[in-house]
Amino acid sequence: MSHTAPPLHGHAALPPRWLVIALLALPQIAETIMAPALPDLARHWRLDAAATQPVMGIFFVGFAGGVLLWGLLADAWGRRPALLAALATGLAGTLCASLAPDYAWLLAGRFIQALGLAACSVVVQTMLRDCLGGGPLTRYFVTLGAVLAWSPAAGPLTGQWVADRYGYAGVLAVIALMIAGLLFFTARHGRETRPAHTPAVSLPALGRRMLADAGLRRTVLCVAGLNLLVFSFYAAGPFMTGPLPGLGFGWIGLGVALAGSLGAALNRYLPATLDADGRLRHGLRCTAAGVVAQAAAVFWHPAPGWLWAALALPVFVGYGLAIPNLLGPALRNYGHCLGRAGALFGLAYYSLLGLGLAATAWLPFDSPRPLSAAWMAVALLLLRGHARRAAMAPRI
């Protein structure tokens, strides 16, 4: 006779909030902490600036595959076992990158690292959706967004300090220590949230249903586009700003954290009558304003410098405002298969993000103008897509 207690639901079923925050922040920190180390990596492997961009881009290729893998395993094995296995995979990939005998092996290790860390997104979000829904879920995402806005500051600040002293290998060692620590705490504090009875859902049938969901398609494109702006900023930032005094690129991380926190906080202060779609509209307009301001500056004065980053800060305000209102309601129609639906949802937008970052790697980096032009195109597509979404929304 089994004495296993059924999974809890609501806030009581979730791991401690500090652990949820740390797990969700880990992939973003693991990505952004590498940005200040790219110049050292380029010197070590004798690469030009553009050739270092796959270090950032391949992370999202591996992440996309991991989102699908761990999302499926979260339904098959349970949320907790899948998360523990994924963290162990991420640790193995980080060690592989640290001990790489050549640049190709470093990229392979980075891919495996991302494959494992993908569970910090898809499995943890699935756990949240297991336990919360509707308004409480969106409010939880808003709270997380306000705190997680500081993870971009932690990444560049830590990365700059470590890279200055120990190079890119030291940065990889820090990532390995973070993963090992969270593996220990997840094993100790992680709880199972998978419903006791999860209906079997055909993955191809679910994929066809989600592909036919026009609203979900637009959400995928919007999430991918916003993340493309953010992570291409980090990939290019150290080269576009040039050397900065004191904290170096860490100054940019602090500015980004403040901007992202402001965007997340706006969700609390906007009128309660404003729905998620209205908040998303404000977020996209703020993002577009940052893109336009930066483009105007670099076409007038294309030399590297802090102005390139400072004028882009409204992008991060808009991101902080928009993302909770995209992720919260994204899978409200797929509550019977959250693990698999989350896997396909994440696979779609991370694949687009990886392709977008791969495309930006082909841009010339001797001037910020090509990247700013690409950002303008992305911002225009986001605004146009939202306008079509609003036009197709049912009228009451």
Phi, psi of 269 (to 5 degrees): -105, -15
CATH topology of domain 14-390: Growth Hormone; Chain: A; (1.20.1250)
pTM of the predicted structure, to 2 decimals = 0.74
Q: Residues near 104 by Cβ (< 8 Å), separated by ≥ 6?
A: none
DSSP string for 57-95: HHHHHHHHHHHHHHHHHHHHT-HHHHHHHHHHHHHHHHH
Separation of alpha carbons 113 and 90, rounded Å? 4
pLDDT at 391: 61
Contact by Cβ (8 Å): 292, 311 = no
pLDDT at 31: 85
pLDDT at 10: 54
* Inter-helix orientation angle 338-360/369-392, to 10°: 150
Q: Residues near 202 by Cβ (< 8 Å), separated by ≥ 6?
A: none
Contact by Cβ (8 Å): 210, 216 = yes
pLDDT at 396: 42
Provide the sign of the torsion angle of the four alpha carbons 180, 159, 163, 236, taken in this order.
positive
Contact by Cβ (8 Å): 31, 17 = no
Separation of alpha carbons 279 and 324, rounded Å? 10
DSSP string for 138-201: HHHHHHHHHHHTTHHHHHHHHHHHHHHHHHHHHHHHHHHHHHHHHHHHHHHH----S-S-----
Separation of alpha carbons 319 and 371, rounded Å? 18
Distances 348 to 30, 38, 63, 66, 236 between C-alpha atoms, Å: 21, 27, 11, 12, 24
Count other C-beta atoms under 10 Å from residue 258's C-beta: 16
Q: Per-residue pLDDT for the chain (396 aa), expressed as one digit of tens each?
A: 434 344 445 555 788 989 999 999 999 899 888 888 888 888 888 887 777 878 877 888 898 899 999 998 998 899 999 999 999 999 999 999 999 999 999 999 999 999 999 999 999 988 988 888 777 887 787 778 777 777 767 887 888 889 989 999 999 999 999 999 999 999 999 888 888 776 777 889 999 999 999 889 999 999 999 999 988 887 777 777 767 776 676 777 788 888 888 888 888 888 878 888 889 999 999 999 999 998 888 888 777 677 778 888 899 999 989 988 898 888 888 877 878 888 899 889 888 888 888 888 777 767 778 888 889 999 999 988 887 766 665 544
Distances 224 to 276, 302, 364, 376 between C-alpha atoms, Å: 18, 27, 22, 15
Helix and strand numbers, DSSP H then E, in the chain: 16, 0
